[in-house]
Amino acid sequence: MDMEPLAQGTPKRRRWVVEKREKKKKKKKKKKKKREQMEDPQANGDHNHNHIPKKLKLSSPSSFISDSEIRQEFAHHQLGIARINNGSFGSCPASIIAAQKQWQLRFLQQPDDFFFNHLQNGILRSRTLITSLINADHVDEVSIVDNATTAAAIVLQHVGWAFAEGRFQKGDAVVMLHCAFQAVKKSIEAYVTRAGGSVIVVQLPFPVHSDQEIIAEFRKGLAMGKAHGRKVRLAIIDHITSMPCVVIPVRELVQICREEGVEQVFVDAAHAIGSVHVDVKEIGADFYVSNLHKWFFCPPSVAFLYCRKSPIALDLHHPVVSHEYGNGLAIESAWIGTRDYSSQLVVPDVLDFVNRFEGGIAGIRKRNHDAVVRMGELLARAWGTHLGSPPEMCPSMAMVGLPSSLRISSDDDALKLRTHLRDHFEVEVPIYYQALKDGEIGGDNWDGRVAGYARISHQVYNTVDDYLKLRDAINQLVKDGVTCNNLP
């Protein structure tokens, strides 16, 4: 470039001005890219980096997500519904849905290229992030599957084979909580009972007042079950039971299992991630599963199954057998035939989302917990009832006693009430029927007996009005003398 001064107005000068402008633009772009890479190592294609973006985010309070932005993110939720059941099916913000659509489009555009060049990397990236989130040692320990139901099938099918191949003897036992998720109970029937195993059911108290109650009952139940020298091969323990919803002291229960000679422990933590703190090493179980679409903002559906490194982990298989059979559960699970894997690929986007909140996912958990407890107490006061468990045993959900005048007498009644609340009051909340305990007198004595609980959830999109709507709905039903018997 010549150094002579350029005369104003000449084409040469005009060219020089344009070139200078372009150079400036390029420099600015480069700086921006570098800044972005510092904030997100993955922008570099650095797939194996365990780094969680939030640690680098230099956020100031003004850059946290605002209330109106949150409303926008969940604008697709049906208007008018008090949606206080995040626990059943979860929720997914608009920006994650958009990210998922991008992945779906990439597959549709050129599926072969996607399959050969992008899918495996995408899944590995998600697995790596999850490994950090849950404090696992190694990404090999983390497989991604559809949901906790699938994870249960994987672990229980392995138990089935152990019976079939003589490693377990007929009558060897599997332990479960009486309130284990129905799908898991069926899976035990399908894979354990059918293969000759027996099942020890441990009753847990509800309402419950402390961890100690649970620990004592579990110890008792396990000891009773082991009577006559029965060998206990596997214990399945919920981290957060579904119905009724209680945070279980899993770490202590896992320890009891070890002390009592239980061979393996599987923690069904379907609700855990995004709801309570998850540290798989601290909990110490052999298998741990949680759904990311419940409380971790992923689209339906995606879950991780953590399997502590051991010889047994090598013998686990996904029940849908495909090309990768024998290459390890994580690799098997990453290809189970042509399907839409997009929900498994948005985990990095979800981390970006939660980091827009103050305190990231930990902040979200805390605020959800505090709010649901506050709302639970508000409802209990309004109805003259109580919470089914103390605040410290509530995650982002709480069990709130319903007025006895509703006369909830069965699971069917609970479902009828739930439907009625949905259809006539635009409130979505699951109802739990609390069966009579041994020795309790039922019959027509409904005086003050809380036979039903509402399991209320709180997620970032909820507002106080949602709970006031439930409060008023129930008050209306009580005022009108409605019972589950005379529900339309």
Contacting positions for other proteins (CB under 8 A):
76-78, 81, 83, 85, 88-92, 97, 101, 105, 107-113, 115-116, 146-150, 152-153, 156-157, 161, 164, 182-183, 186-187, 189-191, 194-195, 291, 293, 299-301, 317, 319-323, 325-326, 336-340, 343, 419, 422, 428
Question: Which has the closest alpha carbon to 142: 267, 334, 304?
Answer: 304
* Residue 429 backbone phi and psi in degrees, to 5: -155, 135
Interatomic CA distance for residues 373 and 400, integer angstroms: 10
Which residue number, 191 or 266, has a Cβ lying nearer to other proteins? 191
CA gap 287, 203 in Å, rounded:
22
Minimum Å gap between C-beta 115 and other proteins is 7
Q: Residue 397: enclosing H or E segment and its boundaries?
A: strand 397-401
Q: Are 347 and 99 in contact (CB under 8 A)?
A: no
Cα–Cα distance list, 363 to 49, 250, 253 (Å): 24, 22, 27
Residue 30: exposed, middle, or buried by beta-carbon count in 10 A (0-12, 13-18, 19+)? exposed
Shortest reach from residue 113's CB to other proteins, in Å:
6
| 3-state helix vs strand vs coil in the chain, percent to 5 | 50, 10, 40
Q: Is 105 exposed, middle or buried (0-12, 13-18, 19+ CB in 10 A)?
A: exposed
- Distance between CA 140 and CA 322 in Å, rounded? 19
What is the smallest separation between the CB atom of 156 and other proteins, expressed in angstroms? 8
Distance CA 139, CA 145 (A): 14
> Whose Cβ is closer to other proteins: residue 358's or residue 426's?
426
| Residue whose C-alpha is closest to residue 291's, from 238, 353, 337 | 238
| Nearest-approach distance from CB 178 to other proteins, in angstroms | 17
Strand order in the sheet with 287-291: 142-145, 303-307, 287-291, 264-268, 232-238, 173-177, 198-202
Nearer to other proteins, 121 or 182 (CB): 182
- Give me the least distance between CB of 346 and other proteins, in Å please: 13
Residue number with CB closer to other proteins (338 or 485) = 338
- Look at residues 395, 205, 418 and name the one whose alpha carbon lies nearest to residue 296: 395
Closer residue to other proteins, CB minimum distance, 254 or 431: 431
Q: Whole-angstrom Cα distance, residue 280 to residue 260?
A: 20
DSSP class of 277: -
Nearer to other proteins, 342 or 389 (CB): 342
Q: CB 204 → other proteins: shortest distance, Å?
A: 21
User: Among residues 320 and 468, whose Cβ is nearest to other proteins?
Assistant: 320
Q: How far is the CB of 484 from other proteins (least distance, A)?
A: 17
In the complex, the smallest distance separating the C-beta of residue 283 from other proteins, rounded to whole angstroms, is 23
Cβ closer to other proteins: 336 or 393?
Answer: 336
Decide if 350 contacts 297 (C-beta within 8 A). yes
Cβ distance to other proteins smaller for residue 240 or 256: 240
| Residue placing its CB nearer to other proteins in the complex, 191 or 453 | 191
CB of 157 to other proteins, least distance (A): 7
Q: Minimal distance in Å, beta carbon 217 to other proteins?
A: 26
**Which of 156/248 has CB closer to other proteins?**
156
Least Å distance, CB 298 to other proteins, is 11
What gap in Å lies between CA 364 and CA 70, rounded to an integer?
12
Q: d(Cα 254, Cα 175) in Å, to the nearest integer? A: 12
Residue type, 421: L
- Other Cβ atoms closer than 10 A to 461: 16
* Smallest distance from other proteins to CB 86, Å: 10
Q: Check: CB of residue 89 under 8 Å from CB of residue 78.
A: no
Q: Which is nearer to other proteins, 66 or 322 (CB)?
A: 322
Q: How far apart are CA 412 and CA 353, in angstroms?
A: 39
Question: Which of 208/456 has CB closer to other proteins?
Answer: 456
Rounded least distance, CB 295 to other proteins, Å: 13
